């Protein structure tokens, strides 16, 4: 999983910083392909805003392709961003990502 989140900071090793808690709640999964310009734009946006995400390459996985098609009635548009609450964004703009993740816009 790619993450630019704050490192764990705690005296006892149990408590998490407020920033880390916020970032961990915003961990998303990005389904995409290396050749996809919109996929790269999406991951750059997430990196810029220090949102942790897992990258899943749809070109290398039949299971990933089936998942992407399953959330869009058989279509194969990427990127698909799976949000922690179970919602999906399909080919999202930067503004749509910001709104869905509770980030200020314009960013």
Domains of the chain are 18-100 (3.40.30.10)
Q: Which residues of 18-30 are buried (b: 16+ CB within 10 A; e: fewer)?
A: eebeebeebbbbb
Calpha distance 20→29 (Å, rounded): 18
**DSSP-assigned letter for residue 71:** T
How confident is the model over 59-81, as pLDDT tens digits?
A: 999 999 999 999 999 999 999 99
Q: Under a CB-based contact definition with an 8 Å cutoff, are residues 53 and 1 in contact?
A: yes
- Residue 27: per-residue pLDDT: 81
User: Which of the residue ranges 6-10, 18-22, 81-85, 93-97 would you say has the lowest mean pLDDT?
Assistant: 6-10
Could you tell me the pTM of the whole model?
Answer: 0.75
Average pLDDT, the chain: 81
> Residue 59 in 3-state DSSP?
helix
């Amino acid at each position: 999983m790619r993450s630019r989140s704050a490192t764990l900071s705690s005296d006892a090793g149990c408590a998490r910083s407020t920033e880390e808690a916020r970032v961990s709640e915003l961990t998303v999964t990005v389904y995409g392909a290396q050749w996809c310009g919109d996929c790269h734009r999406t991951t750059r946006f997430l990196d810029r805003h220090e949102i942790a995400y897992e990258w899943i390459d749809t070109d290398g996985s039949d299971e990933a392709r089936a998942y992407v098609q399953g959330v869009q009635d058989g279509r194969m548009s990427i990127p698909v961003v799976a949000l922690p609450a179970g919602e999906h964004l399909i080919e999202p703009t930067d503004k749509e990502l910001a709104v869905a993740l509770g980030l200020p816009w314009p960013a």
